[in-house]
Amino acid sequence: MNAPPRASLSRAVQGLLLAVIGILLLPGGAARAQGSPSLDASASTPIEVTVWHAYRGEERAAVEAALAAYSSVDPRVRVVPLAIPYEGYFSKLEAAAPRGNGPDLFLAAHERIGAWQGTGLVAPFPADQDTSDLHPTTVQAMTWQGQLHGLPLAYKCLALFVNTALVPSPPRTTDELVAMLPGLTGPDRYGLAYVHTDAYFHAPWMHGFGGGVFQGDAVALDQAGNAEAMAWVVDLQDRGLLPEEPTSALVTELFNQGRAAMVISGPWFLGEVSDPVAYRVAPLPMVSTTGRPAAPYLTVDGAFVSAYAAHPDPARAVARYLASPEVALRRAVEGRQAVSSLSAAADPAVAQDPVLSAFRAQLDAAVPMPNRPEMQATWEPQARALRRVTRHALSPQAAARAAQQEYDIVARPSPPKADPRPYLAVVGLALVGALGWFGPRAWAARADIRQHAHAYLYVAPAALAMLALVVVPFVVGAAVSLFSHREGTFTFVGLANFLDILLARDWPVTSPLSFWFTLVVTVLWTVANVFLHVAIGLSLAMVLREPWLRLRGVYRVLLILPWAVPNYITALIWKGMFHRQFGAINGFLEWAGFGAVSWFSQFSTAFAANLATNTWLGFPFMMVVTLGALQSIPRDLEQAAEVDGASAWQRFRHVTLPLLKPALLPAVILGSVWTFNMFNIIYLVSGGEPDGSTEILISEAYRWAFTRGHRYGYASAYAVLIFFVLLGYSRLMNRVAGQKVL
C-alpha cells in the first residue's frame, strides 16, 4: 500500500538528511549490511568477525587474549578486536553500524537496550538460548520485552570500601552505620564519604527506602521513598558526617589519606586506592527503617550481535564463547572482572578472592539499571533535586515533586509532523535566486576568471576544505533543527523547535531553564568578561612597555602562562579552589577572619566563580594584542602631548587609545565570540549551578542534546539561534568600528 504523499515526502527528506550525516561522519564506508556469505566450512579464507569494546587495562588484556584464542576453537573464524575510547563509543557505534561500518559483535553495558531495540541496532538471541549458567539478575538486565538481546559477561555495582585499620567490622544496617560515624568524624575527617549529590551514588538509599524511578511503566520521581532517602542523606550532611560538595577525586583523596574510614564506590575504585591502605570490600548495609537492603544499580556488560552484522551466526558463536564458564574464569582471574557465569564465580580462584566475592554478595541485592529509553532523561532532574535538598533550597518532598515536573517537561511528546513541501519550495526559490544573482555576474566576468584560472586552482583546496568542514556541517546542523529526534527517529516538524524556544513553551520566561533567561545570563557573562579582559590586559600592557620596569621579559612570560595552559585544566584547578571545605579561596577567607562561602549555592557567587576563572584565562590575550599594538605607536606623539600640558589620562584617552582601536576592536570581537561560547568554564566550574541559572546558551544546547533525551533537533535550534545572535553582534561591531573586521 502506497504511503500518503506527505508521509512519503517527509521520509524522503529524513532519509536525505541522515544520508548526509552518514557521509560526514563516516566517509567512504562500505555497505556491509547488505548481506554477506554465511560461514562455509570449505572456505579457504577465514571469516572475519569484528568485535568492538571499550575496555582498558587488565580487562582489555584478558578479553583480547580470549578473543585471540578463539581460532583454536573454530579455525574458520578470525576475530578482530577493536578498542574504542569510551567517551565516543556509543555515538560511533550508533552512527557506524547502520551504515555497514560497525562491528559484528560489540561489548557494552545493558542500559541502552531499549533504545537500541527501538532503532533496530541489536539482533536478539534465539528463544532457546541456554542461560542456565548465567546469574538470573544479569540475564534479566539483558532482557527487553521478553527477548534476550545480549549475553551477560560481567557486572559492576557500588559497594562499601572499608579502611580496616579504622573499621574492623563493616556495618550491617544503617543504624549501625550512623552509630559509627560520629566516632570516626573529626576536623577534615569523615566516617563515610561518597558523591552523595550524584543520583547514581544516591540510588542505593533511594531503593533501600522503598523509592525508585519507575512505577510500572511510568516515570515517578516524586515517590515518598525518594523524599525519605534524600531527607536521611541531608541529615547526615547537616550533622557534619558527610563532606560537603563531594567529588570522586575528593573521595579518593580522603580514603587514600586515611581521612575517610568508608567510601561507596565501584570496581573502578580498586585502581585508585593507594598501596599502603589496608581495605576490604563489603556489601552495603540494610536500611533499618524499612528492612530493605541498600540496593545499588547493577550495570551488566554483555555481548551484543549487531543487527547489521556481516556475519551474525559466527558473531553469536563468539558471544557464547565469551560467556562460557572457561572464558569467564579467565576473565575473572586475569582481568579481575566480576563475571556473570555461576560456574566461574563458584570456582575457588574466584570465590576465595575477597573483592570479587564481596561484589558477588552485593549482586544479590542490586537492581538492574533500567534499560528503558526514558531512563536517560531522569538523571538530570534527580541530580538537581539532590543538590537543591543538600543546599536547603527545597524540602525533600518539594524537590521530588520539582524533579517529576522537570522530567515531564523534558519528556513531553514531540511536536506534530509538518508538511515539508513549503520549506522545500522556499529552499528551491532561494537556490534559484542565488543562481540568478550569481550566474550573470560569473558570465560577465568569464574573461577575468579564465585569465586568473591558476589563482582559483591555488585556493581550491582551501575552499573545498571550508566547504566540507564548515559550510556542509552548518547546513546539516541547520537542517536538523527542523526535525524532532526521539529514540533514534527523526520527524520533520518545521519551525516548531524554534517556536517552542522563542515562545517559552517549555519553561516560563523567568525560569533559569528558559532561552530568554539564559540569553540574558550569556550576554551578562560576555560583557563582564570582555570588560575585565580588556581592562586588565590593557593596564598590564601599559605597564609592561615602560622602559623603567626591570625584568619585563620575565613578567611577560609569567603573565602569558594562564593563556598557555589548556583551559579545561585551569577550570578544574579553579573548581577545586572554590570548594566549600577544602578550597584555597575559602581557606584564605577564613584565615582573614571571614566565613567560608558556599560558592555554588547561589547565582551571584557561582557567577563570580565562573567570571574569576575565565578572567584569569582571558586577560593574557588582550595583553599580548595591546603590547603588539603599542610597539607601533611612536612615543613622540605622547611626548608632544605632554609638552602641550596634557595629563597622563588625557594622553591615554586622546592619543594612545585612538591609535589602539584598530587592533583592539577585532580582538574584542573575537574575545566576545570566544567568551559567548566558553563551554568548558561553565561546564567544569559551576556546572550551571544553582538550578541551571549560570548556564549559557552553548551549555544549554549541550544538555538538550546529551542529557535530556537526545533532543538533537531542539539542541540544533539552540545552535542556529546562537549563530544569528553572534552574526548580529559582529555586524553591529563592524558598524561601530567603521570597517569590516570580520
Q: Which is more confidently placed, 5 or 74? A: 74
What is the C-alpha to C-alpha distance for residues 462 and 228, in angstroms, rounded to an integer?
Answer: 61
Q: How confident is the model at residue 534 (pLDDT cuts 50, 70, 90)?
A: very high
**pLDDT mean over 428-457:** 87
pLDDT at 118: 81
User: Which pTM does this prediction carry?
Assistant: 0.84
Mean pLDDT of 467-496: 89
CA distances from 602 to 20, 196, 399, 507, 585 (A): 44, 19, 17, 20, 17
Q: Please report, rounded to a whole number, the percentage of residues in the chain having pLDDT higher than 90.
A: 67
Provide mean pLDDT across the span 55-80: 92
Query: Is the pLDDT higher at 26 or at 519?
Result: 519
Measured torsion, CA atoms of residues 724, 725, 730, 735, in degrees rounded to the nearest 10 = 100
Q: What is the pLDDT of residue 737?
A: 67
**How much is the pLDDT for 344?**
95
Residue 34: band (very low, low, confident or very high) from pLDDT cuts 50, 70, 90? very low
Q: Does 12 have pLDDT greater than 80? A: no
Of the pLDDT bands very low, low, confident and very high (cuts 50, 70, 90), residue 742 is very low
Residues in the chain: 742
pLDDT at 25 over 80: no
Residue 733: predicted pLDDT: 81
With helix as H, strand as E and coil as C, how does 143-160 read? EECCEECCEEEEEECCEE
| pLDDT at res. 13 | 39
- Encoded amino acid at 627, one letter: L
Whole-number pLDDT of residue 197: 94
Task: Give the start-end residues of each E strand in 248-370.
Answer: 260-265, 279-282, 286-287, 292-293, 297-306, 367-368
Lowest mean pLDDT among 122-136, 323-337, 395-409, 546-560: 546-560
Pick the CATH number of 31-39+46-153+301-351 from 3.40.190.10, 3.30.930.10, 3.40.50.300, 3.40.50.2300: 3.40.190.10
**Residue 17: is its pLDDT beyond 50?**
no
What average pLDDT does range 638-658 have in this prediction?
86
Residues near 48 by beta carbon (within 8 Å), at least 6 away in sequence: 77, 78, 79, 80, 311
Structure confidence at residue 738 as a pLDDT band (50, 70, 90): low
pLDDT at 732 (0 to 100) = 85
Which of the pair, 29 or 243, is modelled with greater confidence? Answer: 243
pLDDT tens per residue, range 497-525: 999 999 988 888 888 889 999 999 999 99
Domain range 159-295+373-410, CATH architecture:
3-Layer(aba) Sandwich (3.40)
For the chain, the domains span: 31-39+46-153+301-351, 159-295+373-410, 515-708
CA pair distance 210, 297, nearest whole angstrom: 14
Q: Residue 311 pLDDT > 80, yes or no?
A: yes
**How far apart, in whole angstroms, are the C-alpha atoms of residue 632 and residue 664?**
13
Q: Which residue has the higher pLDDT, 609 or 12?
A: 609
Task: Find how far residue 287's CA is from the centre of its chain.
Answer: 33
- Is pLDDT above 80 for 342? yes
So what's the pLDDT on residue 31?
36
Q: Which of 1-10, 150-159, 171-180, 560-569 has the lowest mean pLDDT?
A: 1-10
Per-residue confidence (pLDDT) for residue 32, from 0 to 100: 38
Integer Cα distance of 430 and 387 in angstroms: 49
- Start-to-end C-alpha separation, the chain: 54
In whole angstroms, what is the distance from residue 184 CA to residue 36 CA? 63
pLDDT digits (tens, 9 = 90+) for 356-370: 999 999 999 999 999
Q: Which of 241-245, 660-664, 733-737 has the lowest mean pLDDT?
A: 733-737
Residue 36 has pLDDT above 80, yes or no: no
Q: How far apart are CA 72 and CA 67, in angstroms?
A: 10
pLDDT (mean) for 64-84: 93
23 has pLDDT over 60: no
> Domain 515-708's class?
mainly alpha
Alpha carbon separation from 159 to 334, 412, 681, 730 (Å, rounded): 21, 35, 33, 54
Average pLDDT for 26-49: 52
CB atoms within 10 A of CB 357: 15
Average pLDDT of 681-709?
92
pLDDT at position 349 is: 93
Domains 31-39+46-153+301-351 and 159-295+373-410 share a fold: yes
Give every CB contact of residue 322 below 8 A, 6+ residues apart in sequence: 63, 66, 67, 107, 151, 153, 303, 328, 331
Residues 361-382, mean pLDDT to the nearest whole number: 92
Interatomic CA distance for residues 149 and 143, integer angstroms: 6
pLDDT at 739: 53
How sure is the predictor about 610, in pLDDT bands with cuts at 50, 70 and 90? very high
Mean pLDDT of 191-202: 96
How high does pLDDT run on average in the chain?
88
